[in-house]
Amino acid sequence: MGTGNADWPRDTSPAPRVSLGSFVKKIRARGDSLYRDLPWRRTRDPYEIWLSEVMLQQTQVSRVDGRWQRWLERFPTVEALAAANQADVLLEWQGMGYNRRALALHRAAQEIVQMGSFPKDVLALKALPGIGPATAAGIRAFAFDLPGVYLETNVRTVFLHELFPEEVGVADRTLVPLVEASCPTEDVRGWYYALLDYGAWLKRTVPNPSRRSRSHVRQSKFEGSHRQKRAAVVRILLAARNEGVDVTTVAKSLDVSSDIASELLVELAAEGFCHKGDMRWYV
């Protein structure tokens, strides 16, 4: 019977080089010696942990430490975030990249408030805007100490380095059963902290093992990209949040044609970043 992934290339990854038992023992030991006392590890509040998970996606820990605290000063609870003005949410996110994440945080917070409590169920979490399998598993592990497949980049790095030290193109579907089988039913937090900290250490000390993953994609250049232009338009809109901006102003600011400026505004409006009123655009 098919698995629903018939379009994937055939997985030819070999079996792990060591037993899971010895693997778990080693990771526990390495985790104890490499533990990082990060601010979001001093809480079990699912909102605060969710925020850290989103901020840490493709972002260095050093950049998140400080911004996470500042965000929580501005929006201390999920209720406060849900009630906030969208422009304020986007403004607080500036400098973190990927503005879609801020919109998703805001929309998901509103849905959570409507639910009445922060969900624990993996399907309920994944149904929220911007929450995928890894983020859902991270919330469950670190807020509720519940087991799951938390396969993010540092975790992937450890499994590739220890269990597939020479293989290239290892698929996530090869790793998922191993991540699931090694995850304990108790102290899930501690287990994944150990994986995260060992993975971060490996990235600093050996050629990045995650590059041998089939899912590895080199991030495209930001400078001059469409993504950079979108981010610039959002900043222009935020700077003129009360009076709005016209297409000509955006075009001049970006040094692009009016047609391109208009296309960017229409694209952002379709995603909920802004709206048009008369001849001006507003965030």
Torsion angle, alpha carbons of 169, 174, 175, 176, to 10: 140
Rounded distance, CA 19 to CA 31, Å?
18
110-128 b/e (C-beta count within 10 Å ≥ 16 → b): bebbeeeebbeebeebeeb
Rounded distance, CA 182 to CA 37, Å?
23
| 186 belongs to the catalytic site | no
Give the single-character DSSP code of 217: -
Label residue 219 exposed, middle or buried (CB < 10 Å: 0-12, 13-18, 19+): exposed
Q: Chain centroid to CA 156: how far?
A: 15
Q: Which of 48, 53, 92, 152 is catalytic?
A: 53
Torsion angle, alpha carbons of 198, 200, 204, 205, to 10: 20
Which residues have CB under 8 Å from 187's CB, separation 6+?
145
Q: Chain centroid to CA 32: how far?
A: 25
Rounded distance, CA 176 to CA 174, Å?
6
Single-letter code of the amino acid located at 198: Y
Q: 């001049």: which residue's tokens?
A: 252
Which residues have CB under 8 Å from 216's CB, separation 6+?
210
Residues tagged active-site? 53
